[in-house]
Amino acid sequence: MDIHYLITQYGVYFYALVFLWTFLEGETVVLFAGFAAAENLVNPALLLVAAWLGSFSGDQCYFWLGRHFGQRLLRRFPRWRQGVDAALYWLERYNVGFILTFRFIYGVRNFSSLALGISAVDWRRFFRLNLLAAGLWAACFVGLGYFLGDVLRSALPALARSIRLFMLGALIAVGVIIWLLHRLQRRRPRTPHGAKTLGPPSYRGHEPG
């Protein structure tokens, strides 16, 4: 990706491009834009806000689609069901931990917001957690790009090692957070046996956990 060309071509509208890109896709543009921020080509604070709001808005949109059209979409695209079921499994098992970290989990992240809309999670709760999670995600990848910008210019192999170390550290941190949340979740009163915790919108009154 030629991020320098995009910055030159779009100027101040580059931040709008980051918003749209993160609304639709993932961390690629954020990572490379972070490299550009280290070279003072873009404002890192504005980059962070654009990525944060883009990721947040995209997942809010997918949640809304799941809430209002989820079952219809699954009938129309049955191949999506496996991904949605996987996301619902992780939601039922880890609840808040999953909502905060699904952006980092390859394989289920693309279906997670849609699945959360289909589930019984209250929209106000998802709004709050999604806002926090989008900010954490944006900060991670803007920071990764920004602080490794000098490494990128000096030595690509060193960058690769640094990325591996960063991702390993992030994975460990996410694992610890999920473990702690799971422990706290187990101490909470259990849902009575036989009660539904997940399901289509008709079960929205029973939130998981």
pLDDT in tens, 15-30: 999 999 999 877 888 9
Biggest CA pair distance of the chain: 60
Phi, psi of 10 (to 5 degrees): -105, -15
Whole-prediction pTM: 0.71
Q: Is residue 114's pLDDT more than 90?
A: yes
Q: Pick the closest to residue 209 from 97, 132, 86, 123 (CA basis).
A: 97
CA distance 109 to 126: 15
Contact (Cβ atoms closer than 8 angstroms) between residue 73 and residue 114: yes
CA distance 86 to 112: 9
CB 172: neighbour CB atoms within 10 A? 10
Q: What angle do CA 46, 50, 55 make, to 5 degrees?
A: 150
Looking up tokens 């209002």 gives 68
Residues whose CB falls within 8 Å of the CB of residue 47, separated by 6 or more in sequence, listed in order: 15, 18, 30, 33, 34, 37, 142
Cα dihedral across residues 58, 18, 77, 91: positive or negative:
negative
In angstroms, the Cα distances linking 106 to 87, 90, 112, 146 are 11, 13, 10, 23
pLDDT in tens, 28-56: 889 888 988 888 889 999 999 999 999 99
Give the residue with greater pLDDT, 160 vs 48: 48
pLDDT in tens, 87-113: 999 898 888 999 999 988 877 788 899
Alpha helices per DSSP H over the chain: 3-10, 14-24, 28-38, 44-76, 80-94, 96-101, 109-118, 123-147, 149-154, 156-187
